[in-house]
A and B are shown apart, each in its own frame.
Chain A
Amino acid sequence: MRPVGLVLEHLWTWYRRNWRATVVSSVLMPLMFLGAMGFGLGSRITPGPATHYLPYVVYLAPAMLVALAVQVATGESSFPVLGSFKWDMRYFAITSTPVSVDQLLTAQALWVALRILVSGLAYLAVAALFGAFTNAGALLGVPVAMLAGMAFGSWVLALAASVNDEGVTFGNVFRFVVVPMTLFAGTYYPISQLPAWSRPLAWVTPLWHGNELARAVEFGGMDGLTALGHVGYLLVLTAGGLLVARHRFHVRLKV
């Protein structure tokens, strides 16, 4: 697995020069939302059954972590991946070395997961300083967020390996998938507030499963079987996305 490590080293070399630009979208944005919605708007919200009887900001904080994960996963799996095929064609350079296509994809997917991990921890630390997290269980929200992020990001990886436009597709993914998902899949309020017919739409999103799990690890109140179901669904989604991505990477790189 040494080649996988070398690809990660390569991506790290790039990141070391360019990390500043990513901090805004991956850490500051979720913190701003937490501030505005959690502390600001949340100050007018009376804790009740919908918020597990918790202050609104505490209810919101773990879900923002999952939203961050999906955001970072989408960002890292879209333009940089398309660019590596199309613009600077970095992937073609890498696969001309002893590195195989599978090793390259493994490293790229791991990189996305690592980016979620680092951004998630940074967000968690700052949000905790402001009292948005109440107990150490919140730390378990990070692996949950990574899983939910990869369950979506792996499909974006597959998409990025398939499209050949200038990024229009990704704009649409953000507009018509990521944003609606963040608004309607249980980040800001439980989906029981949605009309019954629309709830299945939330159920299929990785974000909803991530939100349920991330709140459960901090606040409790979920039985083991339900938790297993959520984890299982996210794992299947991740594996499916990676398999499609693998096929698309092979098609595109072995021409």
Chain B
Amino acid sequence: MIDNMSTQMRVIVATVLSLIVFIGYDYLFMPKVSPRTFDANSSTQVTGRDAVSSTPSTAAPAAPAADASQHIEKREAAPVSEGGLERVIATVETSNMTMEFDALGRISQVYLKDRQYRDEEGEELKLFNTPKIPKPLEIRFSDPALNELAFKTPYTVSVSSVELNGSKKRLTFRQDLDGFIVEKEIDIFPDHHYEATVRLSEPRPFYISPGVRPDLRVDGYTVHGAMVEEADGTLTIIEDGDAKGTEAFRKARIAVAFDRYYATAFYDFDKGLNVVVNKDAEENPVLFINGESGRVIHGYIGPKEHKILQAIHPELTKIIEFGWFTFIAAPMFKVLLWLHGYIPNWGWTIVALTFLIRIILYPLTYKGMVSMYKLKELAPKIKEIQAKYKGDPQKMNAHMMELYKKHKANPLGGCLPMLLQIPVFFAIYRVLLNAIELKGAEWILWIDDLSVMDPYYVLPILMGASMWAHQMVTPNNFTDPMQEKIFKWLPVIFTFFFVTFPAGLVLYWLTNNIFSIAQQLLINKMLEKNKKAE
């Protein structure tokens, strides 16, 4: 067989074969890690690299100070921050989180208390697992000397422990820099948002950061980095590793740093924020906003959960971001949330969504079925053509098409509906990957978290099986044996492909296949009836 193939063909076959070997090897021999342990691994790696290659700079973003002095400053700043200034001086408890502030008046840690945000051992998840800076609410002065001093001088705090029950509570941090007074007033609200006001005893230019992104859920499937919503509503996403240098945005509405599920953000929908995006040693974006003494800064730190964000400000839901396909994904996410309002189980909600999409496409399917009925009268002619052009599929096709056109009956769906399915699939893919609502959401039996892969590989295998079954019931006439072979292997390739996907996504694909099979069986039945009527 191989001898008869063209060079081009051989290259392609070789590529596919080697891919299969790689995937197979990965599947059989690589240690299987659950996504969470993977997260932990990657974050420790990051820590290691951090410690070796770079001590993070504490310089103000737009201060183009000579590089050399900045380096000296770094070395000086690092040991200082290790020695005592990172100690927790204030703790805030709300019903769903614990927030810690360090001696530099920054949010140093956030623990999430809700059940879905706990790990397997029931431990509360921490949003920040690396010592990267800037931390949320970190202030940097443009004046290098002042800045250096500010990073060496601890703040004092009005109360060291606050518990919120229902209403907001205020913390006041105060720093005395040789008579220059920095005051940070922070109102914490029970729903993950806060309002901070910085007051300086005399005006000095400074920057304040919403912090580096949370690093709890970082993976290769989803986007992580920073995003700025500009004054005109344009969303600019700067992915980790893609930060170009200093970029400025005037009157931005939102500045957010995020991982797959969690975010830390500043927002102002009235007056806007002057945002500066810097890059760190790994070319990850680092956000700052231009500080203004006495002005209230609105901040959010926590999960990207639609319900919480909607309650704070409807516009804030924009931080749930779906990439290129937002225009389809965002409405789809709304539909998913709406369905979930009636169906408490997320697994069944996904099934319902699949069903809904099928119903919307039904009119087109129905038209196809009506064509099938019309074909009844044409059956003898079709047979005639098939007999006449046996062994010449191209000519047979041409004549069949001629016949369909003449009688205005066409059993095929068409390329447009097929191509339209591709963006819809990508949209669903993004929605199911990014929706934190699926985290810890159970379906039935063994599926107790739709946001991670099926631990027993049952769903992907069922998915492959359903795909194979769909092929079995769909009539096809291949002219190329090679093509036919690949077609037969597609379910296997897809099974491997879907193995590591979140269970929710595999569930969508499986349900979709089952509906396709049901539909095809219905069509087949009609065709059979036609034959009998003959």
- Whether chain B is bound by chain A comes out as no
A residues in contact (CB < 8 Å) with B = none
